Structure 1
């Protein structure tokens, strides 16, 4: 019987520690960018002027730190124990940012705090069933709050949960598989509206130059 796909947490805990030899140096937070192309597309202005922000899937934590250094109170939630331990170690000296080890849906379900903005930059939204996640996000936004997320644009006819594969782990031919959810902008807009969001703007930001893959970028609000 085939082994079920690894969860994203298991994937990142296994993949990240084996990307290179030795301790990875602390990254320097650069521009806050939604696309995978430096200097291309909008920046943090899509979040408005929030006082409190929740990031779902911060990874290395550089984007959360970027916002914290702008005076925003940031909570960053990731279910990879390795990612959170490393982010805490790297950014312990930065005030205004808290890294939490938890599953995104579990955190949203049990945490009573409301946030002015919630976002995910190529993070947890991509790897979580939206039918479960989006209603929980809507409940944790303050009135007038915004939800913004981005990830790679979907390939033709590759919609719904898709398998993402990779072979790393010190050169051994071991395949890791996780699921990521992909939809057209119109499908995302429908999912968000059914989950209680209004003023939905879902689109694909075209790539620059000869690059082949654009960025799905979605912004929605609650009343």
Structure 2
């Protein structure tokens, strides 16, 4: 993992205010697949997580992982940003979160997981040709892999793209990371070729007044 990528994600993490204390229902933890608060499906996409081992690739400040642990999951989160890891540990000291690139963590693992997921995380910012075989190898038979992120920004612009991150300070050079954009049906083909079954990919419509939906992809090992 390039130091520039770590710096970019530290800048991103420092600029984010973090998850609010409670959601619209008054809950202190909850699962959000979309970029819009209190919108879209919840953790049921992953199946029954009580007692399951789950892995969050690109866990950020830990909100989704904390919710699964509250539901009884044995959760692990990885993120390359020390800033984000510190935020997660500060708010939820009991979380098992580790500083690592997703592909490095998976390569070094022998543990199996019942669910591996990524919400606007490493599944968007890692070459699927590298990531998917590693995810498949670490999922228990019948395990779920699911991820979400923005749909492709421009029709016809697919594959690796440059994502601009907020610069550290006004007037400095912007930081970029690489992301992988594909249409839903292309993601279905990519996951099926990697050995996943029952693959689905859909764009969740945004809430009223918002323009951007959320791509949600799911497959079974």
Which range, TM-score by smaller chain? 0.7 to 0.9
Aligned with 1:117: secondary structure? Answer: strand
The match for 2:84 is 83
The match for 1:122 is 120
Give the superposition deviation at 1:39. Answer: 3.0
The match for 2:169 is 170
Contact persistence 2:197–2:220 (CA under 8 A) = yes
Unaligned runs of 5+ residues in structure 1 are none
The match for 2:151 is 153
Give the superposition deviation at 1:27. Answer: 4.9
Using the size of structure 2 for normalisation, the TM-score is 0.88
Size of the aligned set, in residue pairs, is 211
Aligned with 2:169: secondary structure? Answer: helix
**1:33-112 matched pairs, under 5 angstroms:** 33-50=32-49, 51-92=52-93, 94=94, 97-112=95-110
Give the superposition deviation at 1:8. Answer: 3.1
The match for 1:213 is 212
Q: 1:167 to 1:79 in 2, by over 3 A?
A: closer
Q: Distance in 1 between matches of 2:119 and 2:220?
A: 17
Give the superposition deviation at 1:173. Answer: 3.1
**1:132-151 matched pairs, under 5 angstroms:** 132-151=130-149
Please report the RMSD computed on the Cα atoms of aligned residues, expressed in angstroms. Answer: 2.0
Q: Quick check: 1:16 aligned with 2:28?
A: no
Q: 1:206 to 1:27 in 2, by over 3 A?
A: closer
Q: 1:71 to 1:202 in 2, by over 3 A?
A: same
Q: Distance in 2 between matches of 1:130 and 1:163?
A: 16
Give the superposition deviation at 1:30. Answer: 4.1
**Which moved further from structure 2: 24-33 or 71-80?**
24-33
Unaligned runs of 5+ residues in structure 2 are 22-27
